[in-house]
Chains A and B, each alone.
Chain A
Amino acid sequence: MAKDKPPVAVSKKADSRSAAAVTAVEMGARQRDISISEFFTKNRHLLGFDNPRKALLTCVKEAVDNALDACEEAGILPDVTVQLEVVAVGSSALPPASQATRFRVTVTDNGPGIVRQQIPKIFAKLLYGSKFHRLRMSRGQQGIGISAAGMYGQLTTGKPVKIISRTGPKVPAHYFEVQIDTKKNEPLIHENKQIKWDQSCGTQVAIEVEGRYQKGRASVDEYLDQTSIANPHVRLIYRTPEGETKEYPRAYHELPPSPKEIKPHPYGIEFGMLLKMLQETKGATLSSFLSSDFCRVTPTLADDICKTAKVSPRARPRDIRGAIAETLYHTIQSTKIMAPPTNCLSPIGEKAILSGLYRQIKGEFYTAVSRPPSVYRGNPFIIEAGLAFGKAPDSVTKSDKPAQPLAEGEQEEEDSELARIIRYANRVPLLYQQSACAAFKAVLATTWRNYGISQSRGALPAGPMVIFVHIASVWVPFTSESKEAIAEYDEIHKDITLALRECGRRLGLFLRRRERAAGEYRRRNIFELYIEEVVEACNRLKGGKLPTERLKAQLQKIASSRTGGSKTDETLGKTGAGPEGLPHSIIVTAEGVDGEVPPETGVSDAEPIEEKPAPSKPARKQTAKARPAKKKSSLQRPAGAVRTGHKAHLTGKKK
């Protein structure tokens, strides 16, 4: 056995030689190419198709990401419609959405469209795309997403991907049905015709997939909700499988500045990458290779590097390999090079985050912070954080219900809920693997107690709070292919922490101020409550012969003189001074909204500003219902209509 020593590590059993041993020739016959498509067919979890529920989400996500990327790159304010329909399996009747196992996902955008020849490849060829080879901030990166979704559909339902695309009003729309040849990773075209389409340009993709529709955490609904928060410039229409139509109106009428493409920064590449670039460069000399293929490397700097590495600046890049290349690599890494330019990034911006949060999350306090750009491993990135705190005043005081007496042991419901974190990478919500994410870890590492928020050891802060974290980068470091969690680089961690601290500091100020004002108010308020009781008790003790009104008035006078009187009203902010010294924040009280109110009111100029959130507002409201004893009563948040009734005047705004 020892003498012929088969190079087969596979045959583990010593006595299996005669039966199972395989010769190198036989093995060689079995060795062949693995098609990338076949690989992903077997490893679908790598791309986010682990289970039917997640698969449905991934399909929607990939299609929406592509739609938004295309619109933004073409400079069009995106209008995206997402439709989920239940599809019957076989001849059986349509099951309800919660029971259904098969769905048709249709995503339509108003983007630039796709030229006819490219359509099959984009939708039915893995690793085909425009985004992988350049360093530019975009949602998609690898060119896998939508074709993987199509392949998943093909795998589970056997149906092709159906595409309609039109590049302009003067050209016809094209209709395609394509599938992937999983062996060759090439598109198979089933159907290709010109059709009439009522949209002047844009793309529609429909994929039939096996999936499961369930609301709640990490659902399609949540994904679209969160997408709308981070992309307030998008108008999103969502037709749920249950037949509802949800509309997320555009809250911000400016496209984010288009991100610029940059060349790689020398600090950001690995040795192998350098070797590859040396082979592929168009530069004739090493010096010109360095200065033209990298950013922040000037010809002078390139010569310096060559000198330090003891290579001729005029050497042919293709000849640099082995030990010399390694020296070159280390020299580059130890040379001081300017940080990469950061204009390639397009942050959401504080205003847009605020309006996104304000529109989607009901709360009392909103704030947003954009950090200055920073760099990890030669890749520029920007961290943005936001925070929405509290419950909407109108949801807190269920004004119309009479005060329900509480039985013993029955307390006002406690606020023990933990904060919710919503994470984004290049404006795409991350819904899975929260605890592996740098954003989550930074939230845990922040001492929220300093800002008046309770937090038990190693846990999320407690309170009605949504924490928003966004990383924008030309290359977001994900922990895995399915793009679910941000890897924890020190620089990233530090920047997230700094942004969160700033948010926390503002929240702390807000809470402290409110606490102080409420303290005064509570004092007044409890005395007012108790005076009634004490006076009644005195009256009964005195046999009902007491001039109660007089006693009450006397006591109330003492109460107001002892608790600051009219000053309290002022400290409560009822005089309507802005969100005192808190930048990029919105404060919502029962009486109105303070701060940089979302731009709807300003932008939709055609509309008579009817929903203007102003302190004078309550006059129009149902003041009749407001009970005198509780100041925080039935006044509803004037901006409440922002969430529901704005469809009409936003549609007219489209270009």
Chain B
Amino acid sequence: MAKTKITRNGTVEKKLIGLADLVITAAQRAKDPTMAIPIRALSNVTFNERKGLLEMGSKKQARSFFNVGMAKKFMQTMLVADALSELQRAELTTSLREIYYRTKHTIQDSHENTFDTQDESDPIIEDLEVSLTALREELHVRAENGGSVVGPLVLGDDGDRVDCAKLGKGGYSVPSIVEPEYVEIRRCTADFVLLVEKGTQWNRLSEDKFWRRYNCVLLTGNGQPPRGVRRLARRLHEEYKLPVYVLVDNDPWGYYIYSVVKQGSINLAFESQRMAIPKAKFIGLSSADPERYELPRNVGIKLNEKDIARAKELLNYQWFQKPAWQAEIKRMLASGLKYELDALANKDFQYLTKKYLPRKLKEKDWLD
């Protein structure tokens, strides 16, 4: 395994050095150094219906040095590339924020900083991932440990055996890199995976030992699930053939989180191949649930303008065109209300664990 890592690193480092060569050759030919960066926006994303996932198109954006609008970005890209290659050589992993600090300095003889905020360096790392077709892990950059897992699952992490059934109610914190080289799935006896949007509801389920009773793996990403969580769910789905159910708030953002798990995100469409779970099911909260589960109207929240605009955007996405989904979103718009998972506590503190999910699973009441 160690061997594969090294060869991989070798190619990534070569790609990074390639950027320097690009500048050098352009300078020799008195040309404007220009790199092509695939566009990470809806305009360059297509939905592959057969595979059920988002794929990045081939549109590229030129980033050239001698263009007032792009000069700084070009310079920043070179600095980030330099920092990344330093990581490769030193065989270290780092965070986005550390990259930002590593590359930040004041340009000589000026008041100008290379980077003013991390918001400037993060997209450049994504640009490099895409244009060099290197995964973030391959670039040795990790995100925050943004999620937790409990359930009948045994993992190997840095040689340690992690039994996710014996970690109390806190669970195991999912690292940002869960590639087989880093995290090994040794054993999994669960029947399905339940991915919960909110940490609070995950805590509720974990505290109630829902996973023991229904024999499942409980995952949460605390909001938009980070790559590690998505990748872990995908591996469980792929390697252990476990169905994946997604439990989110009933609002446009919840729908979108589900769609990201299922088809991939627009920004990281190039990652869909290894992240998306096209067979993931939407278990709740559905806009039909308030009526079916007799949630009082007063625990709803009025949709604000942003919510409505976002919902209308979703209606137009190609991957929300199934009639059931159109009906689902339109029903929410018609009611004018959104519901949080937490609202179920209105009925009973353990309503989610004892009534809602059991009934959903029994009735197979989910959306695809």
List chain A positions with a Cβ less than 8 A from chain B: 403-406, 408-409, 412, 522-523, 526-527, 529-530, 532-534, 537-542, 546, 551, 554-555, 557-559, 561-562, 627, 629-630
Contacts and interface: CB of A to CB of B under 8 A. Distances in A.
B7 interface: no
Interface string B75-89: 100110110011000
A412 B107 CA distance: 15
B23 A532 contact: no
B334 interface: no
A522 B75 CA distance: 16
B207 interface: no
Contact of B112 (A529, A534, A561, A562): A529
A533 B75 contact: yes
Given A526-B72, A530-B71, A541-B81, A405 B20 contact: no
Nearest to A404: B111
A559 B65 CA distance: 9
A533 B107 contact: yes
Contact of A537 (B66, B79, B110, B113): B79
Nearest to A526: B71
16 contacts: A403-B109, A406-B113, A526-B68, A527-B65, A529-B107, A530-B74, A532-B107, A534-B74, A539-B20, A540-B85, A541-B85, A542-B17, A542-B20, A629-B108, A629-B110, A630-B110
Given A541-B16, A554-B27, A627 B109 contact: yes
B315 to A, nearest CB: 38
A403 B105 CA distance: 12
A627 B68 CA distance: 23
B116 A408 contact: yes
Interface of B: 16-17, 19-20, 23-24, 27-28, 30-32, 65-66, 68, 71-72, 74-75, 78-79, 81-82, 85-86, 105-114, 116-117
A403 B106 contact: yes
A541 B74 contact: no
Contacts of B111: 403-404, 406, 412
A375 B111 CA distance: 54
A404 B111 CA distance: 7
A530 B75 contact: yes
Contacts of A559: 66
B21 to A, nearest CB: 8
Given A529-B110, A542-B17, A546-B24, 11 more contacts: A408-B116, A522-B68, A526-B72, A530-B75, A533-B107, A542-B20, A546-B20, A554-B28, A555-B65, A558-B66, A559-B66
A558 B105 CA distance: 25
Contacts of A406: 106, 111, 113, 116
A46 to B, nearest CB: 53
A544 to B, nearest CB: 11
A539 B17 CA distance: 10
Contacts of A530: 65, 71-72, 74-75, 107
Nearest to A559: B66
B114 to A, nearest CB: 7
B14 to A, nearest CB: 11
A551 B23 CA distance: 9
Contacts of A537: 20, 75, 78-79, 81-82
Contacts of A562: 32, 66
Given A408-B117, A537-B82, A555 B27 contact: yes
A260 B169 CA distance: 98
A555 B32 CA distance: 9
Nearest to A533: B75
Contacts of A526: 68, 71-72
Contacts of B17: 541-542
Contact of B20 (A409, A541, A555, A629): A541
Given A541-B20, A546-B24, A554-B27, A527 B71 contact: yes
Contacts of B82: 537, 540-541
A629 B335 CA distance: 63
A558 B79 contact: no
Nearest to A563: B66
Q: Which of A530, A537, A551 has the most CB of B within 10 A?
A: A537
Given A403-B106, A412-B111, A558-B66, A538 B24 contact: yes
Nearest to A538: B20
Contacts of A412: 111
Nearest to B18: A541
B33 to A, nearest CB: 8
Nearest to A553: B27
A555 B74 CA distance: 14
A558 B32 contact: yes
A443 B111 CA distance: 35
B109 A630 contact: yes
A494 B76 CA distance: 54
Contacts of B19: 541
Contacts of A533: 75, 78-79, 107, 114
Nearest to B82: A537
A368 to B, nearest CB: 34
A529 B31 CA distance: 19
Contacts of B20: 537-539, 541-542, 546
Nearest to B109: A629
Contacts of B31: 558
A629 B19 CA distance: 27
Given A541-B85, A546-B24, A554-B30, A534 B109 contact: no
Given A529-B112, A551-B24, A534 B68 contact: no
A521 to B, nearest CB: 12
